Chains A and B, each alone.
Chain A
Amino acid sequence: MSMVMDLGFPSFDYSTTTMTAASADEGCNWNTWSPVVDWKALSGDQEDFQNLIDSMMDENVVLHPIDQLEETEEEEEYNNLSPEYNMAEAEDSKGVRLIHLLTAAAEAVVGPNECRGLARVILVRLKELVSPTDGTNMERLAAYFTDALQALLDAASGGKHPLGVEHHRTDVLAAFQLLQDMSPYVKFGHFTANQAILEAVTHDRRVHIVDYDIMEGIQWAPLMQALASRKDGPPAPHLRITAVSRSGTGRRSFSAVQETGRRLANFAASIGKPFSFHQCRLDADETFRPSSLKLVRGEALVVNCMLHLPHFTHRAPDSIASFLSGARTLNPRLITLVEEETAPPSEGGFLGRFMDLLHHFSAIYDSLEAGFPMQWRARALVERVFLGPRIMGSLARMYRARETGEGCSWGQWMGAVGFHPVNISFANHCQAKLLLGLYNDGYRVEELTSNKLVLGWKLRRLLSASIWTSQDCDL
């Protein structure tokens, strides 16, 4: 098979290897970026290729810097080193090898049709190497990415993209609980948004929140408590929540949301908080119609849009856009938006975003492991229920958007569409720092812009919470 590919491959600094850009007019220039295999020989038939992959899989092959391709002597030397060193090195090198394979597969998937076969072979090999429940972080992560790429391939060659397994409810709950305990992921977004809401409605008697993805309603319990016990402003403000629901069954269906409403009402009653709950249905194509919302005069309208884990809203960017722009027409007092910090499509095309996504989830895996090194089963559960599907969905969305190459983060979109930023208060920032202090040291919070707080793990930004308003006057 001929490997004619135009790879406008951007240069990345990923772990220990450097990939250089390939010039557009030279066919397949993989030789310059993959130090392990002599890709030039790839023009052979399937068998030869298989052998090549096999040689890559060989555990004795060690990665060396890009200019050294002949390494037999070094190999011998290497094998004489202590076993532990060997082990760690082997693990590291396996990790890097996996990355190479994944990148190669990703490239092949978005390449011309001839490369699909290559992609398939690589994915088969990957599947033999990794398992979603076994091995190191990198290996488990690679397993999910492999599955996601496989799904892309299947969809591209005419099959249907699998929507993902619907997990058993108890699994979901257990994973939800674990995710919240093991990392500040969930609470960071919720608490930051809540604090901003509290500050915006200090003098209001009636508050109306429109929630895009209410899930179990966990975000609102602390807000209710805070509203019920606030010292300044009118006491016992009435809280009204309208949850957006979708047609069909599943976690975001009408009945599930109804259940959440009941639970919230019980909770509100238990703390003596006046409360009412409504639903607002999305159209079949998940478009939001502002007219279907019931509004009351004199209430402070707040729009809440949580897009991060464990919310499963990565599948429908159009829906989100319709929601936010529809919200704008209602002139809300405040809009709270929490989203994942991943590279926008303009950077590096599909491959760039692929690497970025890999990096992103790698950081998440690391953060979970750092806090809970021994509880890998618990982490595996969270990975299976939340992270894996998210990887799958994000990749699918990236793949669909690969041609257009436009798009930006929701935060940028908000600014462009005409929302005004609202400053994050000292108290809010303080709260975030305190919250992170309850978890592992590696988490940090930074105030990226005056209206945006970002949660990061070590050097990687994970989540951002931003506050907006559509009203021109100052709050």
Chain B
Amino acid sequence: MFHPKKASSMNSPMCDSGLVLTTDPKPRLRWTVELHERFVDAVTQLGGPDKATPKTIMRVMGVKGLTLYHLKSHLQKFRLGKQPHKDFNDHSIKDASSLELQRNNASSSGMMGRSMNEMQMEVNRRLHEQLEVQRHLQLRIEAHGKYMQTILEKACQTVLAGDNKSAAGPTLNFPTLQDLNMYGSSDHLHHQSMEMESFIDKKRSTPYTGKSPLVWADDLRLQELGTASCLDDQIGPLSVDRGSDIDSVSDIYETKPMLSGGHDHKKYDVKMDRPSPTPPRTVAISAGGMRSSPFG
């Protein structure tokens, strides 16, 4: 299905690995029938286009000269069902495309007959929609986090200003992270608190004057971690590599400084001057264990 339009006019040299690279100034890989078949086989072996990753496909296919880059883009196309022959989806030129359909059907591994093709189109459509949903979900969670932050910051300011008149209860009962034992052992916390504090101070301009700054730092840390965890976890499922090691929010509370230092993406700007949240791909997560975004 992803065959080049001019399959017959291949006059490019064959290299040792059997890959066909064109003589274009930019060396591009030609996805031949056989190569594509191997690709589809590998993907099916790995459990489908959702589960397979460029790395694992590369390993399974075992084709020399095939790079991650090639596989990444091909896999993306495969998933989105963006065939070079766009007229598959256009019913008005059914006749013209039916020939091509047949040709492609015959050569795609395992795809025989029109109905299978339609099924695959439907699957591709669904996959596409799913990707959309993922993207939207990420943005929404981000917005959620941003808003949560405004609540917590407001609360911080109010209490900092000495306004304790809300409700009954003992003296300022703000649970610090030590109390909540969010980080397991205390020396763990200590180490982390030092890192995070410097991180907080670096990134924020909110004035903490005296009055147990650790408490507020803790709280904002909590917020930071809370929202950061959402985002980080989002990158997990969105990424092509499904072997994510961050798949539960609990990791955030238990792991160490993976969130500190390396965070150069400030998603939740205090002043919120970004009119709209940035799309996921530009978020640079350099913390350990993160893979690159699948979108490029």
Q: Do A and B bind each other?
A: yes
A336 adjacent to chain B (CB < 8 Å): no
A169 adjacent to chain B (CB < 8 Å): yes
A182 adjacent to chain B (CB < 8 Å): yes
CB–CB B147/A221 < 8 A: yes
CB–CB B140/A194 < 8 A: yes
- B175's closest neighbor in chain A, by CB? A174
Question: Which residues from 185 to 219 on chain A have a C-beta closer than 8 Å to any C-beta of chain B?
Answer: 187, 191, 194, 216-218
30 contacts between A and B (CB under 8 A): A165-B168, A165-B169, A168-B166, A168-B168, A171-B174, A173-B151, A173-B152, A174-B174, A177-B222, A177-B223, A217-B147, A222-B144, A224-B143, A225-B276, A226-B140, A263-B147, A266-B150, A270-B275, A271-B276, A371-B248, A371-B250, A372-B253, A375-B182, A375-B250, A377-B175, A378-B182, A430-B130, A431-B137, A438-B230, A438-B247
A422-459 interface bits toward B, Cβ cutoff 8 Å, 1 = contact, 0 = none: 00001100110011011110000000000000000000
B29 adjacent to chain A (CB < 8 Å): no
Specify which chain B residues have a CB less than 8 angstroms from the CB of A225 in the assembled complex.
139-140, 142-143, 276-277
Given contacts A168-B169, A378-B182, contact A439 B248 (CB under 8 A): yes
A57 adjacent to chain B (CB < 8 Å): no
Question: Which residues from 2 to 32 on chain B have a C-beta closer than 8 Å to any C-beta of chain A?
Answer: none
A112 to B253, CA, bound (A): 50
Specify which chain A residues have a CB less than 8 angstroms from the CB of B63 in the assembled complex.
none
A165 to B173, CA, bound (A): 14
A90 to B129, CA, bound (A): 51
A165 to B141, CA, bound (A): 32
A229 to B278, CA, bound (A): 11
Specify which chain B residues have a CB less than 8 angstroms from the CB of A266 in the assembled complex.
150
What is the CB-to-nearest-CB distance from B48 to chain A, in angstroms, rounded to a whole number? Answer: 16
Specify which chain A residues have a CB less than 8 angstroms from the CB of B120 in the assembled complex.
none
Quick one: which of B133, B173, B273 contacts A171, CB cutoff 8 A?
B173
- B171's closest neighbor in chain A, by CB? A168
A232 to B174, CA, bound (A): 45
What is the CB-to-nearest-CB distance from A443 to chain B, in angstroms, rounded to a whole number? Answer: 11
Chain A contributes a number of interface residues (CB within 8 A of B) equal to: 54
What is the CB-to-nearest-CB distance from B129 to chain A, in angstroms, rounded to a whole number? Answer: 6
A60 adjacent to chain B (CB < 8 Å): no
Specify which chain B residues have a CB less than 8 angstroms from the CB of A426 in the assembled complex.
126, 129
A163 to B256, CA, bound (A): 41
Kindly list the 3 A-B residue pairs having the minimum CB-CB distance in the complex, ordered from nearest: A221-B147, A225-B143, A168-B169
Given contacts A169-B155, A217-B147, contact A440 B226 (CB under 8 A): no
CB–CB A374/B254 < 8 A: yes
A283 adjacent to chain B (CB < 8 Å): no
A431 to B134, CA, bound (A): 7
- B253's closest neighbor in chain A, by CB? A375
Given contacts A375-B181, A438-B234, contact A191 B222 (CB under 8 A): no
CB–CB B253/A174 < 8 A: no
Tell me the B residues contacting A by CB distance below 8 Å: 126, 129-130, 132-134, 136-137, 139-144, 146-148, 150-152, 154-155, 159, 166-170, 172-175, 179-182, 184, 219, 222-223, 225-226, 229-230, 233-234, 236-237, 247-250, 252-254, 272-273, 275-277
Quick one: which of B146, B230, B253 contacts A267, CB cutoff 8 A?
B146
A217-240 interface bits toward B, Cβ cutoff 8 Å, 1 = contact, 0 = none: 110011111101100000000000
A391 to B251, CA, bound (A): 29
Specify which chain A residues have a CB less than 8 angstroms from the CB of B275 in the assembled complex.
270-272
A180 adjacent to chain B (CB < 8 Å): yes
Given contacts A263-B151, A267-B147, A377-B181, contact A438 B237 (CB under 8 A): yes
- A190's closest neighbor in chain B, by CB? B144
CB–CB B169/A171 < 8 A: yes
A167 adjacent to chain B (CB < 8 Å): yes
Given contacts A177-B223, A225-B277, A431-B133, contact A440 B248 (CB under 8 A): yes
CB–CB B155/A170 < 8 A: yes
A174 to B179, CA, bound (A): 12
What is the CB-to-nearest-CB distance from A149 to chain B, in angstroms, rounded to a whole number? Answer: 24
What is the CB-to-nearest-CB distance from A359 to chain B, in angstroms, rounded to a whole number? Answer: 24
- B139's closest neighbor in chain A, by CB? A225
CB–CB A222/B143 < 8 A: yes
Specify which chain B residues have a CB less than 8 angstroms from the CB of A371 in the assembled complex.
248-250
A311-352 interface bits toward B, Cβ cutoff 8 Å, 1 = contact, 0 = none: 000000000000000000000000000000000000000000
Given contacts A180-B148, A271-B276, A430-B129, contact A191 B159 (CB under 8 A): no
CB–CB A168/B129 < 8 A: no
Quick one: which of B148, B172, B175, B234 contacts A218, CB cutoff 8 A?
B148
A114 adjacent to chain B (CB < 8 Å): no
Known: A170-B172, A181-B226, A187-B144. 5 other contacts (CB 8 A): A166-B167, A226-B139, A263-B147, A375-B250, A378-B253
A178 to B146, CA, bound (A): 15
What is the CB-to-nearest-CB distance from B12 to chain A, in angstroms, rounded to a whole number? Answer: 40
Specify which chain A residues have a CB less than 8 angstroms from the CB of B167 in the assembled complex.
166-169, 250
A126 adjacent to chain B (CB < 8 Å): no
What is the CB-to-nearest-CB distance from B24 to chain A, in angstroms, rounded to a whole number? Answer: 35
Given contacts A180-B226, A427-B129, contact A168 B173 (CB under 8 A): yes
Specify which chain A residues have a CB less than 8 angstroms from the CB of B144 in the assembled complex.
187, 218, 221-222
What is the CB-to-nearest-CB distance from B262 to chain A, in angstroms, rounded to a whole number? Answer: 21
What is the CB-to-nearest-CB distance from B145 to chain A, in angstroms, rounded to a whole number? Answer: 9
